[in-house]
Amino acid sequence: MLVSAEDMLKKAKAGKYAVGQFNINNLEWTKSILLTAQELNSPVILGVSEGAGKYMTGFKTVAAMVDAMVDSLGITVPVALHLDHGSYEGAKACIEAGFSSIMFDGSHYPIEENVAKTKELVAICKEKGLSLEAEVGSIGGEEDGVIGAGECADPDECKAVADLGVTMLAAGIGNIHGKYPENWAGLSFETLDAIQQKTGDMPLVLHGGTGIPEDMIKKAISLGVAKINVNTECQLSFAAATRKYIEEGKDLEGKGFDPRKLLAPGAEAIKATVKEKMELFGSVGKA
Ligand code: 13P
């Protein structure tokens, strides 16, 4: 059964660790992430961007696939199925489709409009027992064509959104989706600290988890981050393993072209990446 992310994040916050959100794109990714979470006895959040949802033929397909897979693989650790960077319409579609957790990214609206739309979604999610993530201050880089400049959020705006009763808050602290540029200034811990001071116990979310140095990840967790999103790193490890398999000519040997064999090294590589991240985030054994 899919669960809201509320309990797992409250526990993570109290225990000073973070739950990983790993984005899914297809059946293989979903299976690799679920099996790793179960093996490591870790809670997990499966993230679905609107683009990935479309690719998988719609949110209903995704919800049905994940729900059935949790059951058929005998997964007993807590699993939340979460819309990543949802639009207002996308949020409503995922609530309808059976997602257990929603991110409404209203960071590109003026703060008043972000507050109004988030408030409406808080009421719907509360009624249905779903967790809701809001965003203040856009996360840099490009994700599914949505481009953000990587600003630092205003702590007072963060408080205004946190006070609406959201479950978790993504606040820009200089983080960027995708690979970090050579001249990246690093995370602004000053901003993170100021946001947490204003928002009390609110679990904070760190997007752009790929490529952030380990010491920064640990410091961010110590300052209140309870959820960390990883997408690009799984894509990179999947692509590298697949390329190696093809370059070695394994697809031309025996029945190596069988899609189940062709995708297997990439699926194994995702397992290794997820394991490494769960160990770094401290969520192993916390299910
Ligand atoms: P990366 O792709 O940089 O790992 O970021 C993922 C993310 O934040 C999804 O919302």
List all residues whose CB is within 6 A of at least one atom of ligand 1. Answer: 23, 47, 84-85, 177-178, 207-210, 229-233
Phi and psi torsions of 59, nearest 5°: -65, -30
pLDDT in tens, 246-280: 999 999 999 999 999 999 999 999 999 999 999 99
**Ligand 1 midpoint to CA 45 (Å):** 13
Mean pLDDT computed over 174-187: 88
* Residue at 143 is within a domain: yes
pTM recorded for the entire structure = 0.96
* Residue at 274 is within a domain: yes
Instruction: Quickly state the pLDDT bin for 180 (edges 50, 70, 90).
Output: confident
The pLDDT score that the predictor gives to residue 242 is: 98
Q: Which atom of ligand 1 is nearest to the CA of 85?
A: 10
Burial class (CB in 10 A: 0-12, 13-18, 19+), 162: buried
* Residue at 286 is within a domain: no
Of the candidates 230, 237, 231, the residue with the CA atom closest to the CA atom of residue 268? 237
Catalytic site positions: 84
Q: Which of 60-69, 121-130, 143-152, 223-232 has the lowest mean pLDDT?
A: 143-152
Residues with Cβ within 8 Å of 17's Cβ and at least 6 positions away in sequence, in order, are: 221, 226, 281, 282, 283, 286
**Ligand 1 midpoint to CA 237 (Å):** 14
The pLDDT score that the predictor gives to residue 68 is: 98
* Residue at 1 is within a domain: no
8 A C-beta contact, residue 131 and residue 9: yes
| Domain that includes residue 49, residue range | 6-281
Beta bridge partners of 136: 171
> How many percent of the chain have pLDDT more than 70?
96
Domain count, the chain: 1
**Ligand 1 midpoint to CA 23 (Å):** 8
CA angle 91, 94, 97 (to 5 degrees): 155
pLDDT in tens, 101-147: 999 999 889 999 999 999 999 999 999 999 999 999 877 666 555 55
* Residue at 123 is within a domain: yes
* Residue at 69 is within a domain: yes
CA angle 25, 66, 225 (to 5 degrees): 70
* Residue at 287 is within a domain: no
Domain with residue 202: its CATH number is 3.20.20.70
